[in-house]
A and B are shown apart, each in its own frame.
Chain A
Amino acid sequence: MKFEKKRASTKQEIPTASMPDIIFMLLLFFMVTTTLREVEVFVQYSLPEAKAIEKIENKRLIQYVWVGKDGRIQINDSLVKLNEIQDIMYAKRQALPNVIVSLRVDKSTDMGLVTDIQQELRKAYCLRINYSANIKI
């Protein structure tokens, strides 16, 4: 009597024909969501944490202002002085009437500097601000 090993008659392969399609789909997702960094940030900062956080719906309206550990201020691509903020922000507001200023300020900055910046923003009529913060869990 001859013994024969039992084998499943189905193919033992993972169908890979649709793999490129799946990969392409993932690829498209990442391509769409990617925002390549436009500006290089020169200042060092670490954001504070907060619970009552709102998301900014419209990214196009945002103008960033960075304030580093050492108190330097950066707008767009360059470091600016305190008294230059008003002119820059006023020009920005002319181009984008409902601009939201996102303040990315380092945790250990003095409130005096933050207030001075806010005063400049008020003079430039940039009244919508957002204190950038990370979510506290």
Chain B
Amino acid sequence: MNQMQEKACPIIANHIKIALVGQPNVGKSMLINSVSNAHLHVGNFSGVTVDKTEVLFDYKNYHFTVVDLPGTYAFTDYTIEERVTHDYLCAESYDLIINVVDSTNLEKNLQLTSELMSMSKRVVIALNMSDEADKEGVVINAEYMSELLGIPCVKVSAVTKTGIEELLDAVVSVSEQETQESKLIFSEPVEEEISTIVDYLTKHKYKAVNSYRNVAINLLKNNKKTYAKLHDDPIWIELQPILIEASKHIELHHDSDDIKESFAEEYASFNRGIIAEVLKQEVIEEKKTLTEKIDKTLIHSIFGIPIFLFFMWSLFQLTFEIGSIPMDWIDAFFSWFGDTIGATIPNEDVRSLVVDGVIAGVGAVILFVPNIIILFIGIALLESTGYMSRVAFLLDGFFHKFGMHGQSFIPLVTGFGCSIPAYMSARILKNDRDRLLTLFIIGFMSCGARLPVYVLFAGAFFAPEMAGNILFAIYISGAMIGLVAAKVLKLTAFKGADEPFVMEMPKYRLPSAKLIWHTVLTKTMMYLKKAGTFIAAASMLIWFLSNYPHNLMIEEEYATKIEMALSKDAKTDLANEQAVAHLEQSYLGKIGKFSVPIFEPLGFDWKMSVALQTGLAAKEVVVSTLGVLYALGDNVNEEDNSLKTAISKNIPFASAVAFIVVIMIYLPCLAASIVFTREAGGIRYFFYLLAFTSIAAYSLAFIAYNVTLMLT
């Protein structure tokens, strides 16, 4: 009925919505690119944390919407990907499923297929990588397979772009058919129990959306939603004993106390039957595959780790060496842009808001785009070649000691450059708890923006030849504190049994340039869009706090003083003095003074307190704030000798040490905090991070301050 109405409606009549499902590493994304060759646009909408991509295109007289769901091995809800995919398939509306399978590993892939078959949805199977299968001597009889499964199976290859039209034709023809009962057959005891339940449901004329067989299978598989539905029905009282009896029977048959395990075995034996019928492996002599040869070197028990460290070092170098080249251009562009726009705005307040607030703030975010692009290309390469899994394999032993996962390494190293891409790259961790723990630790890896502060203080208190070692010591101790913090968090907040580490080591593949381009582009656009809008707003807030309220008394006083001043230097000095006076009575200054009692035990004066707080906006700002506050003008940098002198004169050594400790540990900058909040999946995690970093920074700085006082 419903079907007929849909067909009568001209708007959605030739619109087909497809859910693209498959196990990881079967070339789904590659297939979607080949299918929608001239795709109109790629929209990216995020789920909780992992994204599903939607692609729109036309073929013949049909509009296609393809939803590319994250790869999933089975419906176990184990990883976020599996949850996103499972929820989508169960709850959203779509016309049919394309199940992409890897022809070279059919039996394994059919595991998911058989679960899809028991969902009573229309399915088309794309036997992908058929070119590779040919090479490996795997022959699949697609027609016979279609017949046995009652599902059209089409041989395709995303790489050579063969079979794409046949696949779309199959999709069109299936979308016009009624949903068919799947031909999935279980062993005799299970079939027996299914028919008992079906008989019972028929007798009581139970109203169900899906077929009784489907309801029966779901009940036997302990599907929670089906249970919830039937639980409120009066027939439940009689049905329950039947179900208990049935489960016992099946478990006895499988010699197991786990019904899900029993069903997995049922599926596996059905799949073995299908494989025996449709697949022929032409005998080729046993030789080492390329993957095995490469693995001999790359995961070698001695050379594996040095090789990996070399790769990481190269990526790190590339990111921050090449990335810094366009950074200067972007910086120059934004200051030019700010000046140009500023010149067109007559009102001083509005101009300051636009130029110093919005343009400067957004510019600071865009500044990191080159780094992010290079890093994302690197990560996409590591991931798509299959090397990432090897890294996790090699490092898991070490990281596990600190309660982390082998794959945590990548985000942590990235954190030395900039926390923002680091938070984003933590997505490679599939398990929620591992990912959250890693997100909390990333901040301990001192990012590039904190370097100027370290350089300034190391230069102010140590001889030039020592400064380099001090810098290195700061970085290393940050990382060590991070590992200890991970262990502490693991023993407290993230307490619980260790997450198991079971992971596929995919075949090595040459990455596709198109796919990498696509991934990097969408991720970069997301960074720009989301971080950009938040940053613009936040920059305005900081600008407001440091500029208001205006104090006319100060302005007038200094205006006359400056006019009276004789030399040019005296004028600049007075202008700087005015800036300090102004900042001191601004909201930000008031906050700084207000917080002095809090920071007193660490030996900070109000100027240091304010500098720390402006550092919440961006760590680079700490240096320029100190410059303003020590009345040197805000055009200072870490190389500036006058600022170094001012700091070594005005700040006691113990306070400086405590200051560095706080800078090392406290909350990452605003942009990073926003990204953190999004990646962690909720504002409450931001408050956890705030509490965690503040307590850690404060207590460690307190210890550092007092120890230094005692020693000096």
A binds B: no
